[in-house]
Amino acid sequence: MRAHHIDRPADLDEVRESYDRVADNYAHMVLTTGIGDIRTHPWLKASIDAFADSVRGLGPVLDVGCGPGTVTGYLAERGLDVSGVDLSPRMIENARRLYPECRFEVSSTTDLDLAEESLGGVLGWWSLFNLPREVLPQVLAMFARALKPGGHLITATHVGDEDFRRTEAYGGVSVRWTTYKWRPEQLVRLIEEAGLHPVAELRLPADEHTGPGVVVMARRPG
Ligand SMILES: C[S@@+](CC[C@H](N)C(=O)[O-])C[C@H]1O[C@@H](n2cnc3c(N)ncnc32)[C@H](O)[C@@H]1O
């Protein structure tokens, strides 16, 4: 039996089908333009490098909502024991094709059954914003329990107040999902309430590709 219960988002099937439809365009965009690739964004790359240095040697790392595996592959290149999970089977097909050396599984974040103190690190890298507002705290609590003492979470998400209903994405593909934007201080409070200690926060202004964002890294005490 699972040690914790996480509510199933009512729109989970729609979100999965939407990401399946955009998966090929998304993977192609990352590969051909560098948009969405940390290697082309010095501050995002620095955040992931700091995370990698913080979790090295602590235990397995799980990239939750890994998409086509860009960050999973990067962390594997840096020598971490990392695997990825994603809701979208098509995203996972792309990830397996692009990073055959890494392990990937299809799963919703909300269906993960993570053993207590089993992970050195967990990522929710631009992949938690589709979780309804009442579900995100449940997921963060699961992440906190799954981390070993001293283990780290890193998450990046879109900043704002709105529940933005998205109807097209990545090259005009029709999608149906909600982007739940968070104010940085709200997100940090949720992370603290989950039992983690924030260690760093990076604010990203809007640019020509996307709106404002925030990266938060946090540590399980002990
Ligand atoms: C914007 S993409 C980011 C992918 C990857 N982390 C990256 O940075 O390239 C968002 C990803 O979150 C995944 N996702 C959305 N809801 C999810 C859920 N409930 N469980 C697992 N993955 C989910 C999507 O399938 C998609 O691959």
Domain contains 215: yes
Q: For residue 170, what are the domain limits?
A: 12-219
Cα of 149 vs centre of ligand 1, distance in Å, is 26
The answer to whether residue 149 is domain-embedded is yes
Separation of CA 23 and ligand 1 centre (Å) = 10
- Among 7, 12, 87, 123, which residue has the most ligand 1 atoms within 8 Å of its CB, making it the best to mutate? 87
Residue 167 lies in a domain: yes
Distances (CA, A) of 213 to 116, 125, 141, 195: 30, 11, 22, 23
66 lines ligand 1 (CB under 6 A): yes
Provide the token pair at 125: 């890298």
Residue 212 lies in a domain: yes
Nearest CA to ligand 1 atom 19: 108
pLDDT of residue 147: 98
Q: Is residue 4 part of a domain?
A: no
**CATH number of residue 98's parent domain:** 3.40.50.150
CA 196 – CA 152 distance, rounded (Å): 9
Dump the DSSP string for 65-126.
Answer: T-TTSHHHHHHHHTT--EEEEES-HHHHHHHHHH-TTSEEEE--GGG--PPTT-EEEEEEES
Amino acid residing at 88: S
The pLDDT of residue 2: 66
Determine, yes or no, domain membership for 201: yes
Residue 7 lies in a domain: no
CA angle 83, 150, 146 (to 5 degrees): 50
- Tell me, what's the pLDDT at 1? 55
Count up the domains in the chain and report the number: 1
What is the predicted pLDDT for the residue at 208?
87
Q: Does 25 map to a domain?
A: yes
pLDDT for the residue 3: 66
Q: What is the pLDDT of residue 209?
A: 85
Straight-line distance from the first to the last Cα atom of the chain, in angstroms, rounded to the nearest whole number: 27
Pocket of ligand 1 contains residue 108 by CB under 6 Å: yes
pTM: 0.98
pLDDT tens per residue across all 222 residues of the chain: 566 789 999 999 999 999 999 999 999 999 999 999 999 999 999 999 999 999 999 999 999 999 999 999 999 999 999 999 999 999 999 999 999 999 999 999 999 999 999 999 999 999 999 999 999 999 999 999 999 999 999 999 999 999 999 999 998 999 999 999 999 999 999 999 999 999 999 999 999 889 999 999 999 998
Q: How far is the CA of 140 from the centre of ligand 1 (A)?
A: 16
